[in-house]
Chain A
Amino acid sequence: MTGRRRLAIACVALAQLACGGREAESGRTVITISSSVVGTDGPLLRRQLDRFMQVNPGIEVRLHRVSDDATQRHQLFVQWLNARAGDPDVLELDVVWTSEFAAAGWLLPLEDPSIDRAAFFPGTLRACLWAGDLYALPWYADVGLLYRRTDLVPKEPASLDELATFAQRGIASGAVPFGIAWMGARYEGLVTVFLEYLGGFGGQIMDDSMNVRVDAPEAVRALTFMRDQITRWKVAPDDVLTWHEEETRFAFQNGRAVFMRNWPYAYTAMADPAQSRVAGKYAVSPMPAAPGGRPTAALGGAQLAINRWTEHPAAAFALVQFITAPEQQLERAVAIGEFPTLRAVYDEPSLRAALAIPADDARRAVESATPRPVTPLYTQLSEILQIELHRALAGQITPEAALTAAAQKMNAAVARTGLREYMFGRPVTSAR
């Protein structure tokens, strides 16, 4: 009989262990925020969280550190949210994930009247919307920029033709081995590079009716232009097909290229003369366009969303609002150079002094930035596109054939998932 009693005790202990949630001893509401905290991000975010807790003494915020690798982070979030875990309450999402998670029913819609949608740049906000509802608030923005060597190029190229010409001239002068460096490895970065040339020639990945348009003549011209850089004009080395952000930056930073396509972070990263051979010798501008197209910068960055299964939606919302508020965005921009998503912040004098590139240029870049297609299928579509783009750039297949195949497979994926019918065919109901 003692055995039975022991079993009973074990069961009680077990129940306590199993249900002992995350309540703080002090009785405060505990919420968690998951974020990748690399380098200077960490101390900054902790400082802001401490301030939030001072303002809201009833809430305790814990930082839930997650992997810096975007693919791993995505996988982890999918696992947590699908399991209906309430932790973490607040999630840092990459711009291309929000519609996927919202459509799956994993995020809480943000319906608070205090949210002023117009205060954000339209592009950054659009990536937070799904079926007309807002599911996240933009936190910071990343935009594709064209870096150029001011000692080798007289002015910012006004057109794509001029970009190619300047690059060729740079090589001919013997000053650099490469004309232009960009990320051409088979990963998400390649899609952002392609998106910019595509816009520059007047094309788009997907139209408003969810038809994939990467087989249009403009798209073929854009991909041919990228391919020509490698094979015809030989201004981009074959190596770009294995490059991500950092390899690209190193090539430019070591003085080996006239131009580079990269994100804003590179500006500060290359400023130290001890490590950078180009310190003080570079400037940025938007990617130029071809006749008939428009200058396009891919939009990246992060948003903050609330877990559908949170037990403390009000506290979580307060935190999201606090971190995305102008003061915190300004502090972040000043501290680590990331672009704010609120228009008004660009008028702050301290931002003008602190941002690595002129605030007006930064604002212009974010304003004209193009988001990647906002669709729950984005990850799958992008994977198809990456494979075909890479095959064409590696010369295994012509740009026409690659893009035709990509469009076909991407449209098939859209059709298979019934998303178009869901979006347009019948009245939109709640995803749940």
Chain B
Amino acid sequence: MKGTGINSLAFVWIVAASIISDGLFIWPLHIVLVAGQNAELAILFADLWAMALALLIPSTPPRGPFWRWLFTGFDIAALTAILAMDAIMLVELFGMMQTFYYFNTPRWALLVPYVAVIGMASVRRNNVPWRVVALWVPLLFLAAGVIIGLAFTTVHNGRVLLPNSDITLLPILRAVTVLGYLGVPVGVTMRLVRGELAEPPKRLLRMAAIGLTVLFLTVLYVLTMGALGPDAIIHTRWPVVFAFDHVTLDSTFFLSRVGILVVFSWTTGIALGLIVHLRMASLLMARRWPKTSGLLPVAVIIGWMVMGLGISSPQTASSILLRWLDPPADGYCAAEMALLLGYGIVRLLRRRERKRPVRPFAERPRTNGPIPVSGLDPHT
């Protein structure tokens, strides 16, 4: 697959799809539930965390078997968690659809074709899935931008977007731990998609990918919080859908409610995120266990279907996410940061070692050409 690498901009869309698809659903209900008005401080912290992560992630694969295995271990752990979260997001998605639009349609009729399409799209050869994502995600961002622009007319509580005078650390920390599930896909997506690019992603590109994602989520927070306030948000189940569903464009004749556009973007967005996740898992399998990697998509699709139909309600799904997946996700995020810091420090030390002259200058063999600078010499 090397040599036909995808372009750098696609990296931004892929990372955004991967993170947002798992984060969008219950956003920002549960952080508001624990931190109330001061939830934005938790978001700020999480934003900085994600930015730091994007900065620290090396743009090339790690050197040495030890680091390689360690990073692979992290990738496997993260992908397992992500695939489980995807099943939860499927339950949430169809729970939302059944609440707002398809009251009588059974969940299997929505879920089975949806997941089947995702499976089919993700096993397309070469870069086709990535290209699908790179085509649709910007279009969805554009659509979302239009809807968000319209929805900003409903924002009328300015003060609530600033923190309260009473900043207690404990609720904010709890909100940060709730956000753990959002932090898991950040590193693993960057590490796995990195190899698919024509050239390794530069620091600026990684920052742009994360920047777009956190900007999008932050804007959605501002929108729901500004329209509803912390007390009304906790009375809704899908605050973002609620906020969008009540945007009215009375001046236009044919487009009176934009809520239906949201459903389209949402469904497609989740599907694209799931395609990215499934593709990443296949990539990892193909690199480590090429013989059995063909079975993975089928297994994941079946797993999603079973979990998607087995979890009784969106509320159960949320509580599984918050009770069972969030604590290990927090642990993972902390460990990943430690790993990246450790790897960064080791690399820094090695680079310094390389810069130090290995042999005294006098002992060098005399050559007619220019004297090699030891730091740039690949053999030292």
| Same complex origin of A and B | no
